[in-house]
Amino acid sequence: MRSRRSISDIVAVVLLIVIAIAAAVIIYMWLSGLIGSVHTSTSATQVKLEITGASVTPATGGYNVNATVYNPPDSPSTSITLGELEFTNGTMICSNNSAIKISSSPISPGHSATLSFSCTVATTAPAGTPVEVVLVTTQGVQVSYTTSIS
């Protein structure tokens, strides 16, 4: 008798290897995500800042922006480092100097603060143009509020 090795044995071995590799990749990805989330800053994930109102007024060579910000009781104290004004499609109109903090003192949990910044542009948009006021915290959390130019 001749010894024949069937194709089904080879297919079975290849399938077992593929399943083992796929399982290893899935376990690696799951552990990487789990370990990666442990090493992230907990304060950035806990910041729940809200902009409750904002106004944008044209000024000589740019805009003056006022925003009322609320920090919920279950959120840590935070400061605003950067303010931006964008069209609603995400195109940036202007930004304050990122070297200047908008709020010099942190906003405590459960408190509101009114923040102001100005930025310069070559040409101003007409009144009524919808814009987004975007604020960035010291933890890197970005919050936005849609309003229109006064």
- pLDDT tens digits for 84-120? 999 989 888 888 865 556 766 888 999 999 988 888 8
pTM of the model: 0.67
Give the residue carrying structure tokens 């109109």.
93
Give the residue carrying structure tokens 């090493």.
39
| Pair (54, 88) in one structural domain | yes
The domain of 108 spans: 45-148
How far from 58 is each of 65, 122, 136, CA to CA, in Å? Answer: 9, 12, 22
For residue 93, the one-letter residue type is I
Within a domain: 1: no
| Pair (13, 66) in one structural domain | no
Within a domain: 2: no
Integer Cα distance of 93 and 86 in angstroms: 5
| 61 half-sphere exposure, CB direction, 13 A CA radius | 3
| Pair (77, 141) in one structural domain | yes
| Pair (144, 123) in one structural domain | yes
| Reported confidence tier of residue 17, pLDDT bands at 50, 70, 90 | very high
Q: Residue 36 has what pLDDT?
A: 57
* Element containing residue 130 per DSSP (H, E): strand 130-137
CATH number at residue 116: 2.60.40.10
The SS3 call for residue 144 is strand
